[in-house]
Amino acid sequence: LERSDSAVSTTPSDNNEPTIHQPIPTRPRLPSRQSSGPLVVPRDSSAVGPVESHYGPDDVRAMSPRRTSEDIDKMGKEAREELRKHAQALQDSLLTIFNRIEAVREEHDKLDSNNKFLQKYIGDLMSTSKITATSSRSKK
């Protein structure tokens, strides 16, 4: 069989139809590589450990702000003061809520005692009206 790069052959076959030939794919050649060597590095090798970086004066990494211990102490005091103010505000709001709860509780107790008094008063009136109603019926 003859192979061509075209997908359809122009030579007719026995039944006068074109024959379809598939091209043979060729595998690309792998590039040659050199060995990367062993991955294990001896402990006393100079390739182990942190690498000192030296930046030029115009490099942004060399221009980052450095904080002194005084700056750090000042920042710590400011943070503590801000935290203290926040805690004080929370305590004040908690005290306000507590006072409001106590006022509502006192109002509730007052209303509850008035309600019990009214229930007793109405009960006494009902029993008195029953007594008077039964006594007036019997006199008739």
Which one-letter DSSP state was computed for residue 5?
S
For the ranges 61-65, 66-70, 73-77, the one whose mean pLDDT is highest: 73-77
Taking residues 128-135, what's their average pLDDT? 76
Strands (E), the chain: 8-12, 18-20
* Whether 56 contacts 62, CB under 8 Å: yes
Who wins on pLDDT, 10 or 103? 103
15 or 116: which leads in pLDDT: 116
DSSP assignment string, 82-96: HHHHHHHHHHHHHHH
What are the residues facing 20 on neighbouring strands?
A: 8
Cα dihedral 30, 34, 35, 41 sign: negative
The pLDDT tens digits of the residues spanning 5-56 come to 544 445 544 566 667 777 787 877 877 777 776 667 777 777 666 677 777 7
Contact 7, 21 (CB under 8 A): yes
* pLDDT at residue 49, as a whole number: 67
